[in-house]
Structure 1
Amino acid sequence: MSVTSITPKNQNLLWAISGGRCEYEGCNKILHTDILTKKRYNSAYIAHIVADKPDGPRGDIVRSKLLCDNISNLMLLCNEHHNLIDKVDVKGHPESRLLVMKQQHEERIKRITNIAPNMSSEIILYGANIGVNNSPLSYQSANEALLYDYYPASDYPIELGYKNASLTDDMDAYWITEEANLFTQFNLKIKPRLMQGSTDHYSVFAIAPQPLLIKFGVLLNDLNNVKVYQKHREPSTWKWQTASSDIEYILREPDDKTKVPVLVFSLSATVTYDRIQKTLGDNTSIWEITISGAPHNDFLKTEALLSDFRRTVRHAFDKIKSYHGYTGLHIFPAMPVSASVELGRVWMPKVDMPMTIYDANKEKNDFYKTITIK
C-alpha cells in the first residue's frame, strides 16, 4: 500500500506521457473509459516501480524515499496489472523489467502523438479469394503498418471485398462476379470522394488474385494521393522496411518484335516461355521484367523498390508500344501484391495498349485468360 501522496503535477504528467493507457507490456488498456458501457471514469492506478517504503515491492532503504514522487519511478496501470506486479508476482517483476515496460510504452505514445495533424489516411482493404483461401486482411494490421507516418482517418476501413464468396478462381463466373463487385464497390465508396474533389490520403492493403489487383490499380489510377503496402513474410508485417536493397529490375526484349506482344513479370517466381507458348502459340514476341538474382516471393521490402518498379513498367509500356502500336498486350504476372496494384496504376487508359491478363491455376492446367482492360 502506497504511503506517498503523488503531487497533482506528476499525476497529470504521468497521464499525459502514458496516453491514459496501462503501461504494462501488451496491455495498453484505456483507463478513462469503460470498454463495455463507454462511460468515462478513472480506473487507473499509479504504481511505484521502487516502492515508496523500504519493505514494499522492490523497496530500498535509501532509494524508496528519494523516488517516492519521481515521475521516472511511476507507472500508470490497470487494476489487474497493478495487483500482478505488487502482490501476485513481485519476483517476476524486478525494477529492470518494469523500467523497460515504462520506457517502451511512453516512447511509443510519443512517436504516435508526434504524427502531424494533417497526416491522416483512409485505410482501404481489398480482398478476394485466392483458390479456396479467404483474404487475410484486418484493420488492426493495417493500422499498425501506418504508424508512425500516418494515423487512421476513421475508426473503420473502406472495404471493397466480396465477403463470404463461394466462387473460386478456377471458375469463369468468379472473374465476372469479382470484377463487377470491385467496380461497383469502388464507384460506391471511393469515386464520390473524387467527384467532390477530395484530397484525402489513402493507404491500400490488398490480397487477391493478380488480375483483380491490376484491375483495382486501374481504378485507383486517378487517385494521386495513394500509398500501397506490401505483405511481407519475414518479418510478418505490412510495414515497409528501411533496409537498403541491391536488387535491380531488368527488362528483357525479344529478338523478333513483329509478333503478338506479351509482357511477362518473373518477379515472385520464374515464368518460363514455354508456358506462354502453350497458352498463345509460337506467334509471340515475349518481353519480360525480372529482377537481378533469382525471383522469389519476399524480395519487395522497400517503397524505393516499388517506385523503381513503377518506372520500369512505364518504360516497358512505352517501348513495347513503339514497336507494336496499339494492339492488345498479353500480361502474364508472377509478382507481389503491391506490384500488381501499381501495374494497374501505371497503365494509362488514353495512352497505353489494352491489356489481357492471365492467371496461373492448377485446376486450369496453368495460365488462362481472365480479365481484359481496355
Structure 2
Amino acid sequence: MPDAHPFSVAGQRVVIHLQPLEDEGLDDPSLAANLRETCAAQGPVLVVANGFTTRALVGTDGKDEWHDIGHGDFGDECKTAIRPLLRARRLFWVTVSVLPTTAQAISPNQLSPATTGTITTWQKGARNLTTPKGRQAEASAATRQVVSAQAAWRCQFPGCGADLREHASTGRQGNFSYFAHIVASSPDGPRGSVRDSTRLADDPSNFLLLCDACHRLIDRISASEYPTEKLHAIRDANISEVSRLLDTLRYREVKPYAILGNLGNQVAYLSSTEVREALWNSKLRCSKDAPESLFQPGNHLYKDQTATYWGALFEKLHQEIPQVQRYISGASHNGGGRDELAIFPLHLTSILTLAGHILGDNGGIHLFQPHRDKVGGDLVTRWAWPTSATPPSPEKYKVRTLGSSSADSEEACLLVSLTFSIDPTRLPAHCYKNGEWALPALEVYVDEPSANVISHPEDLQHFGRRLDDALRTLQDQFRAKKIHLIVGAPTTAAVVVGQKMQARHHPPFICHESIGGPQAPFLPSIEISSAQVTELASGATCSLQP
C-alpha cells in the first residue's frame, strides 16, 4: 500500500484504537441508510467484521480520528449502498475474531481495500453461520417438535409472539420458524463455544423458536446485547408463560363487568389485559375479550359532584339496569343458564352499593378490587388478589352499637368503617349533633382500618356475615323504616353492602357520599328502595323492578 494510505499520519502507519459500543444494532436497511450518507462525505470508511456481524466507521483525512456509522446486519442493501465507496477505493475491510463492538485496536497490517468479492465471500460465510439453510439436520425432527410445542409455534422473543405457521405479509400457511441456536452450532458462530457448540447442536434446551426478524436481531444486528445467559432467560420465561396461558383454557368462563365512575375528578380506566390477568390469577377466564362497562356517565363528565354528572349517570341507569336484570334472571338466555359474573368496581360508594343491590346475593358472582400501590411482587395487575395474602380470622369484622334505639325512632344509621374510622362529626345533623347520636346507630368495623383491609376473597365472606348481623339488628330489633348508610370501605365491600339488601323486605337506604377531601362532610346522595333509586338533589328516579 502507498505511503498515502488513509491509515497513516505523517507517513507513519498507526494502530486504530476503537471504543467499545453499547448502542443498539441496526438492521440491513438502517445501516445501509447510514452508509449512503457517508458516501457523500470525504474520508475512508472502515468495516470491522467477525464471522456474522459488522461495525462501520468513517475516518478523517490526515487525522487519526474515527467516528462510528453504526453496527449490525451487513446485508444486500448495505452491499448496494457502498458501491460508490468501492469505486473510489475508500472502503476498507478488516476481519476480527471478537464481536466488532468490543474490538479495541486494529493493526494497519490487517487492513486491505475491500472489493465486491470481499463482501460476497463474507456474506456467504455469515449466512452459513446464522441461517438454518442447509443446517436443519442439526435440529432433528424430534428436537424441532419439542421446541415448537414448548413455544406453541410462536416466536419466543419478548414482545413478538408472531405466529410462525403463517407468513407475516402474505398470510400463506406453512412453516416460517427459525430454530435459532443459543450456543451456535459452530464455534465461530454467534455465542459459539469450542467446548459446547457440537455437544449442544441438537439439544432442545439450546434452541429458541424465532421469526426471521428476531433471529437476525440476536445473531447479526445486536449480537453483543444477547449473550447466552440472556437468551436462556428469555427461553425459560417464554416457556413458563406459554404454559401458564395454555393452562387458562381449563378455567371456568365468566362474563366481566366493569363498574367505573370518575372519582376525584379523574377518569377511571380498566384495560382488557388487567381483566384477563386478574381472572387468570383466580383460575377464571373471560367469555369475551373486553369487559362490558356499566353506569359510566362518560369520560367528558369528570366532576362527580355536579348535577350534570348525576343527570348523565341516571340516564345510564335507565338504560343499563334492565339489561343487567334480564341477564341475572336468565331472560336474555331464553331461560338457559347464564355465565358466572366477574365484577370490577371503581365508582362512587353509593353507586357500588346500588350495583350490589341489583346483582343480588346470588352465587356465581366474583368480585375484584384495585389494590393500591400493589403492582409487582405477588401481583400481575393491581386488580388481582394478592397470592401472598392469608385467609382472615372470622373474628376480624365486628359489630357494635353507637347510638341506642328508642321506641319513637323510625330511622337509624349504619356505618361501615373498614378503610378508616368514620368520624361522626362528619355526618349530617339529623344523624349526629352536639356530640351525641340523634339516631340509633350500628357500626361494622375492624380494629385496624386500612386501605388494604380486604386482601383475600374470604375477607368478603366474613364481612358479609357481620353485615347480615347488623342488618338483622336494624330491622328486627331497631325496627328501622329508613337506614342512613355511611361507608368507608374498599370498593368490593361497598358492592357486598348492596348485595345484602333484601330485595323485597329491606327499608329504604339513604346512601351518603363524602366529596371534597378526607375531612369533607358526608352528604345524602341517593335513596335505594325495593322499587326504585332516587337521586336526592334533583328527585330523578329509576325503577328497580325487573
Superposition TM-score, scaled by structure 2 size: 0.63
Does residue 109 in structure 1 map to residue 242 in structure 2?
Answer: yes
Larger-Rg structure: 2
- % identical aligned pairs: 23
Does residue 208 in structure 1 map to residue 347 in structure 2?
Answer: yes
1:280-311 residue CA offsets vs partner (Å, 9 max, x unmatched)? 34421221122222x22233211121222222
Give the conservation status (yes or no) of the 8 Å contact 1:261–1:329: yes
Residue number in structure 2 paired with 1:251? 399
Residue number in structure 1 paired with 2:373? 234
Give the conservation status (yes or no) of the 8 Å contact 1:234–1:298: no
Moved more, 59-68 or 5-14: 5-14
Residue number in structure 2 paired with 1:271? 422
1:254-299 residue CA offsets vs partner (Å, 9 max, x unmatched)? 2512243111122122210111254634421221122222x22233
Select the residue among 431, 451, 460 that pairs with 1:280.
Answer: 431
Select the residue among 183, 201, 208 that pairs with 1:50.
Answer: 183
CA shift in 2, pair 1:354/1:122, >3 Å? same
Amino acid at match of 1:88: I
Higher relative contact order (CA 8 A, sep 6+): 1
Give the conservation status (yes or no) of the 8 Å contact 1:129–1:165: no
Residue number in structure 1 paired with 2:357? 218
Residue number in structure 1 paired with 2:306? 171
Give the conservation status (yes or no) of the 8 Å contact 2:361–2:500: no
Residue number in structure 2 paired with 1:368? 523
Amino acid at match of 1:120: E
Give the conservation status (yes or no) of the 8 Å contact 1:277–1:284: no
Equivalent-residue separation in structure 2 for 1:178 and 1:291 (angstroms): 32
Per the alignment, in what secondary structure is the counterpart of residue 184 of structure 2? coil
Give the conservation status (yes or no) of the 8 Å contact 1:49–1:75: yes
Equivalent-residue separation in structure 1 for 2:188 and 2:168 (angstroms): 35
Residue number in structure 1 paired with 2:291? 157
Per the alignment, in what secondary structure is the counterpart of residue 465 of structure 2? helix
CA shift in 2, pair 1:162/1:150, >3 Å? same
CA shift in 2, pair 1:144/1:37, >3 Å? farther
Equivalent-residue separation in structure 2 for 1:33 and 1:155 (angstroms): 23
CA shift in 2, pair 1:220/1:31, >3 Å? farther
Residue number in structure 2 paired with 1:354? 508
> Could you tell me how far 1:116 is from its partner in structure 2?
5.2
> Could you tell me how far 1:173 is from its partner in structure 2?
4.5
Residue number in structure 1 paired with 2:148? 15
Moved more, 268-277 or 8-17: 8-17
Amino acid at match of 2:390: S
> Could you tell me how far 1:353 is from its partner in structure 2?
2.9
Per the alignment, in what secondary structure is the counterpart of residue 248 of structure 2? coil
Amino acid at match of 1:313: L
Give the conservation status (yes or no) of the 8 Å contact 1:127–1:162: no
> Could you tell me how far 1:159 is from its partner in structure 2?
2.0
Per the alignment, in what secondary structure is the counterpart of residue 311 of structure 1? helix
Give the conservation status (yes or no) of the 8 Å contact 1:128–1:178: no
Give the conservation status (yes or no) of the 8 Å contact 1:18–1:109: yes
Give the conservation status (yes or no) of the 8 Å contact 1:202–1:227: yes
Q: Which consecutive residues of structure 1, in runs of 5 or more, have no partner in the other structure?
A: none
Residue number in structure 2 paired with 1:334? 488
Give the conservation status (yes or no) of the 8 Å contact 2:343–2:366: yes
CA shift in 2, pair 1:81/1:167, >3 Å? closer
Per the alignment, in what secondary structure is the counterpart of residue 198 of structure 2? helix
Paired residues, number: 373
Moved more, 79-88 or 338-347: 79-88
Amino acid at match of 1:171: T
CA shift in 2, pair 1:313/1:71, >3 Å? same
1:19-69 residue CA offsets vs partner (Å, 9 max, x unmatched)? 233322344444445789877565533211111111212222232222222
Amino acid at match of 2:404: D
Q: Which consecutive residues of structure 2, in runs of 5 or more, have no partner in the other structure?
A: 1-129, 376-381, 530-546
Equivalent-residue separation in structure 1 for 2:313 and 2:169 (angstroms): 37
Does residue 185 in structure 1 map to residue 333 in structure 2?
Answer: no
Superposition TM-score, scaled by structure 1 size: 0.89
Equivalent-residue separation in structure 1 for 2:514 and 2:188 (angstroms): 69
Amino acid at match of 1:95: T
1:333-368 residue CA offsets vs partner (Å, 9 max, x unmatched)? 111111111221222212333211000012995211
Amino acid at match of 1:46: F
CA shift in 2, pair 1:189/1:287, >3 Å? closer
RMSD, aligned α-carbons? 2.7
Equivalent-residue separation in structure 1 for 2:318 and 2:169 (angstroms): 38
Per the alignment, in what secondary structure is the counterpart of residue 526 of structure 2? strand
> Could you tell me how far 1:105 is from its partner in structure 2?
1.6
Amino acid at match of 2:298: K
Amino acid at match of 1:121: V
Amino acid at match of 2:384: K
Give the conservation status (yes or no) of the 8 Å contact 1:269–1:334: yes
Equivalent-residue separation in structure 1 for 2:245 and 2:222 (angstroms): 31
Amino acid at match of 1:191: R
CA shift in 2, pair 1:137/1:321, >3 Å? same
Equivalent-residue separation in structure 2 for 1:347 and 1:244 (angstroms): 28
Does residue 292 in structure 1 map to residue 447 in structure 2?
Answer: yes
